[in-house]
Amino acid sequence: MSNLKTCSKCGETKPREEFTRNKSKRDGLSSPCKACRKAYKVANREKINEGKRKYYADNREKAREYQETNREKIAERKRKYYAANREKINEGKRKYYADNRGKITKQKREYDAAHREQRRNYKEANREKVAEQERAYRQAHPEKARAKGSRRRAAKRNALHPEHDLKREQWLHKLARRLERITGEPWHVDHIVPLAQGGWHHHDNLQIIPAKWNCQKQANAFWEPASPCPPWFRVPDIDDFASGKPRAKHLPN
């Protein structure tokens, strides 16, 4: 069997690897090459999606029956595809979120508003189960749980800045936990200008300080500590955040 095949669309002769598999064809390959198939899908995306929606609407029971019968097969196929294309998929998700952040936030708010009563009823009926799930989540993701609590308190004061970077806040909480393990004392992520004094919940208005200082400071924006910060510590900056972890010179050996 020849290792070449001529595309039915562009007319070019290409290696067999440039064609997708199709069991219904005599040679086991589709007639158009991968490049032509991709170009067609891009040019006719709405038409293809509309056809899929119509087919699913007309064959809903058939599609549901196939999914139930081949549940494991479908799951395994998805796992293999994700393992082979993990970086591509994650990059696509990040790009989509960055391009559609406002749309996603609006959809989430609308969904939460529409299902608020349903969620409340579920929590009431499964109080112990929900509490256990929340405890497990807080233990597995303490920095995310602390950041969520801070955002909730800021939202109550209407002080949540629209350009707040959640990842940077979570990173600060993660660094605070690392400091706790090293020093044996609790550290807090504190608002430089307190929310009670009109400060925003924004990543540029956050700092890491010992918990005892935070308790002494309370809502005083001009408070100064009685003792200086440890000589080995300095406030992390944007370069540290970009690197994904605090540099070694932040912490003692």
- Asked whether residue 112 falls in the same domain as residue 171, the answer is no
- What rounded mean pLDDT belongs to the chain? 84
Q: What is the mean pLDDT of residues 162-180?
A: 87
Q: Is 242 within the bounds of a domain? A: yes
* Tens-place pLDDT, residues 40-68: 999 999 999 999 999 988 998 998 899 89
β-bridge partners, 6: 13
Residue 252: pLDDT band with limits 50, 70, 90 = very low
Phi-psi region of 11 (alpha: psi -120 to 50; beta: other; left: phi over 0): left
Residue 231: pLDDT band with limits 50, 70, 90 = low
- Asked whether residue 224 falls in the same domain as residue 246, the answer is yes
Residue ranges making up the domain that contains 46: 25-84
The dihedral over CA atoms of 170, 190, 201, 141, expressed in degrees to the nearest 10, equals: 20
- Asked whether residue 146 falls in the same domain as residue 204, the answer is yes
* Tens-place pLDDT, residues 84-100: 999 999 999 989 988 99
- Please check the confidence at residue 189 and state whether its pLDDT lies above 60: yes
Task: For residues 233 and 248, give the distance between their C-alpha atoms in angstroms, rounded to a whole number.
Answer: 10
Task: For residues 227 and 210, give the distance between their C-alpha atoms in angstroms, rounded to a whole number.
Answer: 11
- Asked whether residue 129 falls in the same domain as residue 65, the answer is no
3-state helix, strand, coil in the chain (%, to 5): 60, 10, 30
- Asked whether residue 236 falls in the same domain as residue 170, the answer is yes
pTM, two decimals, is: 0.49
- Asked whether residue 41 falls in the same domain as residue 109, the answer is no
* Tens-place pLDDT, residues 10-20: 999 999 999 99
- Asked whether residue 203 falls in the same domain as residue 223, the answer is yes
Q: What is the mean pLDDT of residues 224-250?
A: 51
- Asked whether residue 58 falls in the same domain as residue 146, the answer is no
Quick one: what percent of the chain has pLDDT higher than 70? 87
- Asked whether residue 54 falls in the same domain as residue 124, the answer is no
pLDDT in the model for residue 238: 46
Angle between helices 101-114 and 116-125 (to 10 degrees): 60
Residue 195: pLDDT band with limits 50, 70, 90 = confident
Q: Is 96 within the bounds of a domain? A: no
